[in-house]
Amino acid sequence: MELNPQELVFYLFALLTIASAVVVVTIKNIVYAAFSLMVTLFSVAGLYVFLQADFLAATQVIVYVGGILVLILFGVMMTSGSLDLKLKLERGQLFWGGVVSLTIFGLLLSVITNTPQWENVDIGASQEPTTRKIGEMIMKEEYLLPFEIASILLLVALIGAALISRKEVRDE
Amino acid sequence: MLSLMIFIPLLGMLVVLFAIRREQEELAKRVTFIITLIPLLIAVFLFVDYDRSAPGHQYEEDMMWIEAFNIRYHVGIDGLSVTLVLLTALLGPICVLASWKIDKGIKAYLALFLLLETGMIGFFCALDMFLFYVFFELTLLPMYFLIGIWGGPRREYAAIKFFLYTLFGSVLMLIAMIAVYLKSGTDDVARTFDIPTLIELAKTPGHALADPTFQIWAFLGFFIGFAVKVPIFPFHTWLPDAHVEAPTAISVILAGILLKMGTYGLVRVNFAMLPEGMDFFCNGEGRWGNSLAILGFINIVYGSLCALAQTDFKKLVAYSSIGHMGFVLIGLAARNESGLTGAILQMFNHGVISAMLFLLVGVVYDRAHHREINGFGGLGSKMPIYTGITTLAFMASLGLPGLSGFVGEALSLLGAYSKFKVLTILSTAGIVVGAAYFLWTLQRVFLGELNPKYEAITEINGREIATLVPLGILTIVLGIWPSIAIDMFREAVSLLPLVQ
Amino acid sequence: MSLQSYLVISIILFSLGIFCVLTRRNAISILMGIELILNSCNLNFAAFSRYVTPPDDISGQIIALFGIVLAAAEAAVFLAIILAIYREFSTISPDETDTLKG
Amino acid sequence: MPVVPLISIILVAPLAAFAFFGLLSLTGRNYARQDLVSTAAMLVAFVCAVLLFTNVVADPDKYSHDGAEIHSLTWLPLGSVNFSMGFLFDSVTSVMLLVVTIVSSLVHIFSIGYMHGDPRYPRFFAFLSLFSFSMLFLVVSDNLLGIYIGWELVGVCSYLLIGFWFEQDAPANACKKAFMTTRVGDVGMFIGMMMLFTKFRTLSLYGTDGIFALASNLTTADMTWLSIAGVLIFCGAVGKSAQIPLHTWLPDAMEGPTPVSALIHAATMVAAGVYLTARMFPILTADSSLFIAYVGAITALVAATIAIVRFDIKRVLAYSTISQLGYMMLAIGAGSYVAGLFHLTTHAFFKALLFLGSGSVIHAFHAAHHAHDHDHEHDHAHGDDHAHGDNHAASFDSFGIDPAQDMRHMGGLRHKMPITFVTMLIATLSIAGVPYIFSGFWSKDAVLVEVLYRAISWNSVHHYILFSMAALAAVITAFYMFRLIFMTFTGEPRNQEMHDGAHESPWKMAIPLIILAVLSFPIVNKWSFEKYVKQPAQPHVHAPKHATYDASQDVLHAQLGLSDAHAAEDAHSEDAHHDAAAGHHNPDHDKAHNIVVPLSFVIVIVGIGLSALFYYWRKISADAVAARLRPIYTLLWNKYYFDELYDGVLVALTVAGSKVLGLFDLRFIDGIVNGVGVVVQAGCARVSGWFDNTFVDGLVNLVARITWSIGGRVRRVQTGMIQNYLLAVVGGVVLLILIFRALF
């Protein structure tokens, strides 16, 4: 089996994604877990590039790595009493959780392998950058309304988060 | 027009909930009163404007609601519903007036009351089985809370009992409804929930709906659902508890309207849509042929005798309701013109009279803070107007000719006699017992020497009189000239599958 | 580098995420699990957009975009709730915040 | 004179008087001179009734037949069946209108004096107006439904008026009893109406599709049915006219104000039963007629015997009323419509007079009574032993009798109250049937003649028995009525204090007495009555088979047919009674007449003579006789134990039964889950032990309990740990997918 450089890089990213995700799930130190998650997110962004989704990849990096991850780290630090918390795992929960996840994995895998029309399907993709097209679809075409709703959602989340996390002011 | 009437109370509920601050109790009551006046005005207009000579439904509104199941928003009224809608709309403002003294959570109370009114009016207007069911259930929830929160000492028990009973009935009703829906078409022919269509289908020979065996089972399902509401023995035990615990205005609604929902359903669904099933239970032949009439008889005699035994004023009235609904049942079982006319008239009249009775109990309860019949005595000399109105209501309820109660009862019995001779004759015992408990109560509460405890009791006030007078006038007018009401539904009755 | 390979990556991420959510004893770890799940979904969308739909239809990507937006909003609210819980219970371990217990 | 407007005025006037009161009282006020309003309304009605009567006088041929003129409207159109309401006008209606309006007007006037000073004075007149309206409505109704409506309305007015002084227990009990007892009869009547309606699809009486026309076509196969229907309708009359066995309410009804007793319980309402029976005359069959006659005769006799031992002046009159009503029923049952109605008319006047007279006495005594202080009343109650010579009921003490109504306190009042005495004496002579001079003789004579005539012409043993009972009752009537007069008005005053306080009543009360006294003379006489009131045909009454009557009567009819066109017209109806009413050309009738008139002399002489021996000359001691006949006396004193039977057995059983049923509902129906099994297995004998287990409601509670216990167990699943829940959710989804895959 011959690997061209492009494929090599792809598999590298794939491996990185999976490995770092495994670390996220298994490592006990939460800070390490967070950093490991950063690796996962980066490599997923890389995968997006392979999928000709350049804008998506950029967003992934900016929003996830730049936003969400920082948020998570803040959360870790603000609840710092448990920074070095040794996560205890209940045996039953661990066992059943594993069983369920593995079953899900098996199920989905069987779906993928048993769906012949997905084999070697490649309808092709345009090579030009997607940013312009995404912009047009969001601002002019059918995704205008979802876009607006998403913006309202963000606003609501913003206000809600601020309201919930601020110190409660008791009514006098 | 109808939608306006149905949803104005709902709108009013939102207004009361969101536009009025908690402290503005007086304002809330006034606003609610005015809101309830609107459906009344519309109902009066409908009553006047309704074309009495045309059979079938009028003011219909029909649009698709849930396309996947062919569920439509179809409302309309015929003579039968228009009388009950009028009754509902009339009791609305009266009950708001009667609730004037409620002091806890008045806003929520009024909002729930308005929701209840929407449910009731909607129920009487609905022409789509699904809509019908939705409104039927819609009345259940506010009622549960109204009893459970604003009721007497055992309110939770009563509310849950009421809720479970009714839910039990409506589950059976739902099953029957779905069965009817599934039978109404096939995969090729569209199924429907539309009541007029179903009625036509059930008449079509050879149609799956017209199959007698199916109709009998569907009849049973619907019947038990409605029987709980009516209530028919042995599904009646929720009624005394609910009545005793509910606040006055809610008792009024309970007796005045909710019970009628049961009998209305019997007429609208069991009678009109399932003639074969009805025939099986009312033809006077075979093992089951008398069952409806027997239930009616039991309701009359059993309800009356139980009422005789009560010492709680409200419980007595509650049991008398059971007795009076028996007349409706036996009139329906007769399936002829006079029986059915009597039954429908009795529904309306009982709504008016029992509303009066509960309002009257509320008046004395507000003053004495108990309802023990033996604990009163001689109130007649202290409260002459109250006594006079009570006597009027009692006389109407015990079927005095010249007042409305008589016409319904007499027609029901006249109709029933032509089919169920022995049962009808036995049922007339209910008339005697009815007179007995009312007169006995009258004596224990109002006659005799004044109980010194009530030396200072005050006469009925203007607001209370205002709630009673319209009902009293209706009682007298309908007693003297019942055609006013009968003209409304004569055509509707003639459309029903009567058996002479 | 076919559709299947992306899908396999996606389901691995998904299963790991589920496992994480079910077993980790720290609310922030759970959040991370959720992020993994969301990522797997986004990856799925992007992959199908690339391989199955016509070249000029990039709806999949847009949906993925919305997914990211959603994730952001969710993360913000989630962390806010975690902070509130932390203040209330001084812990963020879900098995100690069990006032729902019947 | 136009019929409809006049009848409308007759009805509307008293109703308006009542409505005036009713509406005004909603505002909490009363018009003090309601008496004038009501009385004026009644006088207007009276004038209209007189005007209407001129119609009858002008055209007796038309109006003398029943159902002569009918104006009816559809009241309740149901589609194929219609109920109508309307006015019926014939001579009987006209007579009844006159009787009711005259008595009512006079009672109104009397009450202005009698009720003066009562705190609820306006209300009394309003009720009187309502009653008058109801009674008039009953009388002018042309169909059974209308009659029933009026019937119940007079019942409720009677209820309201008996209980007028409701603060005391006795009136409160009496009014309830009156309403309940009559209601029992009414239910019978209603069943009868249902039978007729089911058969004929109408409740109208007259016209080609009325009940009478349809009933006349019935064949012999339907006779049993028709008899039952007739008897059931008659049940209503039994209740309202206080016939045995539903008579017990009427004596108790005397707790009401005396004018009420005079109007309702003597002259009008109780006579409504007779009126109804008379109206139903054409559908009576031989069997139902005989039944009615027996009920009437037994009532006449039993009530008369009870009256002998009463001391309460109003109770004596009440039993006398029952007895006289029995006479009327007997007359109608014996097939003489005319005699029954004639006796009704005369009786209305003289009995109203007797009641008003007693009212006058009571009023005088009450006035006297009020003059004394309270202790005195006490004295009377306990001190009668030495105060009265006439004390043969010493062991039955006067407890329960209002001292002002107790005849043992009276005596010698004729000097104090001359007008009352004279007028009451006239009425008594009339009711006792003193020949020729008084109206009572003529009507009672007519009844006796008719019964005897039936006995002779049909050779019927039943009618001989009925006749002897009626004759015996007549003797007793004369006896107890004169006992009343002697004890009240003659001899020495037995209660000096009360006697001193007594005085003649004011003119408002005296004038009605005088007018009624005039009417107790044969102003209303037999000949004019028979001229205006003609007996309707009874197509279903035939002479009994064994009688020798038929053949000869047919011949008679044939002969008369040549000479008398009117008789020929009726000949085909096989109705011999018509001739009986006309009377004078029938040998059997003459024979009966010739026996009855001398007998009447004997009756009067024996009755009054015996009475005078006991109570005027006091040659025989009533006490001694009572002691000798102790068992009979006890029986009569206790009114044949009817009240005990009803109160102790029927009422007690019903109430106890309802209590049991109420408990049953509370305990049993409310908890049958276990109960049903037990009832089925062990039978009803063990039911009582298991009352605590509930049935239907218990089922509901069971559902709740099951839910509760399941909930108790299931609740442990709720660990409160989100991840457990989540695991369950995800695991559930996975499981579902697996199942789905396995299945499809």
Q: Judge: D723–C22 Cβ closer than 8 Å, yes or no.
A: yes
- pLDDT band for position A84 (cuts 50, 70, 90): very low
User: If you average pLDDT over residues B426-446, what whole number do you get?
Assistant: 89
> Whole-prediction pTM value?
0.74
In this structure, which amino acid lies at residue B171?
Answer: V
If you average pLDDT over every residue of chain D, what do you get? 80
- Distance, CA of D642 to CA of B114 (rounded, Å): 57
- Distance, CA of D57 to CA of D529 (rounded, Å): 11
In this structure, which amino acid lies at residue D172?
Answer: A
- Distance, CA of B366 to CA of B384 (rounded, Å): 17
- Distance, CA of B356 to CA of B471 (rounded, Å): 7
Interface test with D, best of C11, C15, C18, C92 (most D CBs within 10 A): C18
Burial of D82 (0-12, 13-18, 19+ CB in 10 A): middle
Q: Is the peptide bond before B275 cis (omega within 30 degrees of 0)?
A: no
Q: Determine the distance in angstroms separating the CA of A123 from the nearest CA of chain D, rounded to an integer.
A: 30
Query: Is residue D209's pLDDT more than 90?
Result: no
Cross-chain CB nearest to C79 (options A75, A137, A150): A75
Instruction: List pLDDT tens digits, range D172-190.
Output: 888 888 998 898 899 999 9
Residue D436: DSSP 8-state:
T
Give the DSSP H or E segment for D71: strand D69-77
Q: How many helices (H) and strands (E) does chain C have?
A: 3, 0
Touching chains, A (3+ CB pairs < 8 A): C, D
Listed by start position, the domains of chain C span 3-89
Instruction: List pLDDT tens digits, range A127-163.
Output: 778 888 888 888 887 888 888 888 898 899 888 888 8
Architecture of domain C3-89: Orthogonal Bundle (1.10)
Quote the distance between the C-alpha of residue B315 and its chain's center.
Answer: 17
Query: Is residue C16's pLDDT more than 90?
Result: yes
Q: Determine the distance in angstroms separating the CA of A171 from the nearest CA of chain C, rounded to an integer.
A: 18
Q: Judge: D184–B432 Cβ closer than 8 Å, yes or no.
A: yes
Instruction: List pLDDT tens digits, range D542-551.
Output: 765 544 444 4
- Taking CA atoms, what residue in C is nearest to D725? C22
Instruction: List pLDDT tens digits, range D43-59.
Output: 999 999 999 888 888 88
If you average pLDDT over every residue of chain A, what do you get? 82
Pull the structure tokens for residue C77.
């609210």
Cross-chain CB nearest to C101 (options D719, D727, D730): D719
Q: Choose the weakest-confidence range: A70-74, B72-76, D306-310, D731-735.
A: A70-74
- pLDDT band for position D392 (cuts 50, 70, 90): very low
Query: Is residue D575's pLDDT more than 70?
Result: no
Q: Judge: D149–B406 Cβ closer than 8 Å, yes or no.
A: yes
Largest CA distance in chain D: 119
Instruction: List pLDDT tens digits, range B175-225.
Output: 999 888 888 888 778 888 888 888 888 888 888 888 888 888 899 999 999
Pull the structure tokens for residue D565.
């066109």
Instruction: List pLDDT tens digits, range B356-406.
Output: 999 999 988 888 888 888 888 888 888 888 998 999 999 999 888 888 889
Give the DSSP H or E segment for D72: strand D69-77
Give the model's pLDDT for residue C98. 63
Touching chains, D (3+ CB pairs < 8 A): A, B, C
Q: Judge: C39–A44 Cβ closer than 8 Å, yes or no.
A: yes
Pull the structure tokens for residue D169.
């227990």
Residue B372: DSSP 8-state:
B
Query: Is residue C79's pLDDT more than 70?
Result: yes
Residues of A in contact with C46 (CB under 8 A): 47-48, 51, 53, 56
User: If you average pLDDT over residues D672-676, what whole number do you get?
Assistant: 40
Residues of C in contact with D720 (CB under 8 A): 97-102
Chain C contact for D726 (CB, 8 A cutoff):
yes
- For residue A96, the tally of other CB atoms under 10 A from its CB is 18
Give the model's pLDDT for residue D546. 46
For chain D positions 690-719, those within 8 Å of chain B (CB to CB) are: 695-697, 700, 703-704
- Distance, CA of D631 to CA of D644 (rounded, Å): 17
Contact B36, B44 (CB under 8 A): no
Size of chain B, expressed as the number of residues it contains: 500
Contact B299, B382 (CB under 8 A): no
Q: Judge: A93–D737 Cβ closer than 8 Å, yes or no.
A: no
**Residue partners of A141: CB distance under 8 A and separation at least 6:** none
Give the DSSP H or E segment for B361: helix B337-368
Q: Cite the DSSP H helix spans in D309-391.
A: 313-333, 337-371, 374-382, 384-387
Query: Is residue B355's pLDDT more than 90?
Result: yes
Pull the structure tokens for residue B321.
């309701």
- Distance, CA of D646 to CA of D640 (rounded, Å): 11
* Contact: chain A with chain B (3+ CB pairs below 8 Å): no
- Distance, CA of D577 to CA of D286 (rounded, Å): 13
Q: Cite the DSSP H helix spans in D373-417.
A: 374-382, 384-387, 413-416
Instruction: List pLDDT tens digits, range A4-49.
Output: 888 888 989 999 999 999 998 888 788 888 889 999 999 999 999 8
Give the model's pLDDT for residue D558. 43
User: If you average pLDDT over residues D454-467, what whole number do you get?
Assistant: 86
For chain C positions 53-82, those within 8 Å of chain A (CB to CB) are: 53-56, 58-59, 61-62, 64-66, 68-77, 79-82
- Distance, CA of B39 to CA of B85 (rounded, Å): 9
Q: Judge: A165–C75 Cβ closer than 8 Å, yes or no.
A: no
Query: Is residue A171's pLDDT more than 60?
Result: no
Neighbouring C-alpha atoms within 13 Å toward the C-beta of A11: 6
Q: Judge: C21–D726 Cβ closer than 8 Å, yes or no.
A: yes
Instruction: List pLDDT tens digits, range D706-743.
Output: 888 877 777 666 666 677 778 888 888 888 888 887 77
- For residue B186, the tally of other CB atoms under 10 A from its CB is 10
Give the model's pLDDT for residue A81. 52
ipTM over 0.90: no
Q: Choose the weakest-confidence range: B7-11, D271-275, D621-625, D674-678.
A: D674-678
**Residue partners of B100: CB distance under 8 A and separation at least 6:** B29, B463
Residues of A in contact with C93 (CB under 8 A): 82, 85
- Distance, CA of B188 to CA of B197 (rounded, Å): 17
Instruction: List pLDDT tens digits, range D335-387.
Output: 888 888 899 999 999 899 999 988 888 888 776 655 543 433 333 333 333 33
